[in-house]
Structure 1
């Protein structure tokens, strides 16, 4: 159940990879330590044209019926088993407002509180990792401005992730991405991918601070240089 993401791509790379048109991309660029409420590049079907569109969406779904946007910070993930019946998500699910969040990967932490080792989780193939999401529109009644937000779908973990977390994001492999965005039956996708498809490696503790940024956060470190979650010299 990720709470920190690495989206280390330039918009042009994702536009080409997903054969998408550019939407709202003002300020878009590589981010290596994204947290809830940050804006990330997402691929979705444009409701009018049916084309793939790449837009910046805010992480943390704000339901269309919400009085304000405050609750979005806590709605960063949705359980795939109950998403169709959970009030904040069921409308987006029913209307097939699906999206993909393309990433280098995401971060998790292993160990006891106060001694946690951050881990980078990526595809072993080194391909971009696409997480399944739902998006929603919300209108601020005072300003009249629209906000577009998303949540990530989660599922039971595979054996590798289960060693340190009870949930994992739904990862949509390349061969299923077109069908996911098109709204095809998703029952077979809302499950963990095989452990062997993942590369899980330790990274430095600088990623613990949300304000830290840069590609160096994604670099592997030797376990011998990390003791109880604290880097040594």
Structure 2
């Protein structure tokens, strides 16, 4: 996430975002920015009621007794999120937008990671992923906001790298997606689909991105690769253990 607060405000109709630094290698369990519906505007404002907050990347269901007993839920399969116990409540009541300027994905050679890619909107800019948020209460009474990113099947361009990709919510659909008061999951099901093949561009990069300690812009430097990757196919998981990024 390397956009400025002003750029994010212009896209989402948020106001007075606090300054935040560019982040080039956001890892699971670290804070991510989410936009949710909620009271924020002054009376008489024509802007939509939205606010931004930082949440732990890795959703913890409200009913979980101990996060240590849960898999790391950094993503959620959009096709089944409305039925899965881990995501059902958030899909109905706490849909969010997750701003980013791109994401990383690995092309695999069998079970082995072979080549990382930086995947960003063609021409740059901010992309909004569909997200889910859940507030988990610790036994001691403190609360932690947590979240996951929704994924869908890859489009024709990304399928050469991975069979999944994040759900992209377009600006014209922000309001409907965030409206959990009047829009149930079935009312926004049409938004959960692969984005058009020409939306993203995939840039091969070095394996520096594989280390959380590497957080500088140099990890996005283009790298030379061999032959073009071929589409991958993978059976859907049999359980809720969604631990891959996308």
TM bucket (normalised to shorter chain) is 0.7 to 0.9
The corresponding residue for 1:214 is: 216
1:82 alignment partner, SS class: coil
Structure showing the higher strand proportion among its residues: 1
> Per the alignment, do residues 72 and 215 of structure 1 end up closer, same or farther by CA in structure 2, a change over 3 Å counting?
farther
The corresponding residue for 2:31 is: 39
Compute the displacement of 1:139 (Å). 1.1
Contact 1:37 1:73 survives alignment (8 Å)? no
The corresponding residue for 1:194 is: 196
Using the alignment, how far apart are the partners of 2:153 and 2:79 within structure 1? Answer: 9
Using the alignment, how far apart are the partners of 2:203 and 2:69 within structure 1? Answer: 33
Compute the displacement of 1:78 (Å). 0.9
Compute the displacement of 1:128 (Å). 0.6
Compute the displacement of 1:107 (Å). 0.4
Compute the displacement of 1:215 (Å). 1.8
Compute the displacement of 1:105 (Å). 0.6
More deviation in 112-121 or 196-205? 112-121
Compute the displacement of 1:73 (Å). 5.6
The corresponding residue for 1:110 is: 107
Using the alignment, how far apart are the partners of 1:68 and 1:92 within structure 2? Answer: 18
> Per the alignment, do residues 55 and 115 of structure 1 end up closer, same or farther by CA in structure 2, a change over 3 Å counting?
closer
- Aligned residue pairs, count: 214
Using the alignment, how far apart are the partners of 1:171 and 1:77 within structure 2? Answer: 13
> Per the alignment, do residues 187 and 32 of structure 1 end up closer, same or farther by CA in structure 2, a change over 3 Å counting?
same
Are residue 158 (structure 1) and residue 163 (structure 2) matched?
no
The corresponding residue for 1:20 is: 14
The corresponding residue for 2:179 is: 182
Using the alignment, how far apart are the partners of 1:189 and 1:83 within structure 2? Answer: 14
> Per the alignment, do residues 20 and 73 of structure 1 end up closer, same or farther by CA in structure 2, a change over 3 Å counting?
farther
Gaps of 5+ in 2: 42-47, 227-246
Compute the displacement of 1:125 (Å). 3.8
More deviation in 182-191 or 200-209? 182-191
Alpha-carbon displacement from aligned partner over 1:67-101 (angstroms, at most 9, x marks no partner): 12335662111111111110011011122x11111
> Per the alignment, do residues 118 and 140 of structure 1 end up closer, same or farther by CA in structure 2, a change over 3 Å counting?
same
Gaps of 5+ in 1: 1-6, 225-233
> Per the alignment, do residues 78 and 167 of structure 1 end up closer, same or farther by CA in structure 2, a change over 3 Å counting?
same
Using the alignment, how far apart are the partners of 2:122 and 2:27 within structure 1? Answer: 23
CA RMSD of aligned residues (A): 2.3
The corresponding residue for 2:122 is: 124
TM-score by length of 2: 0.78
The corresponding residue for 1:88 is: 86
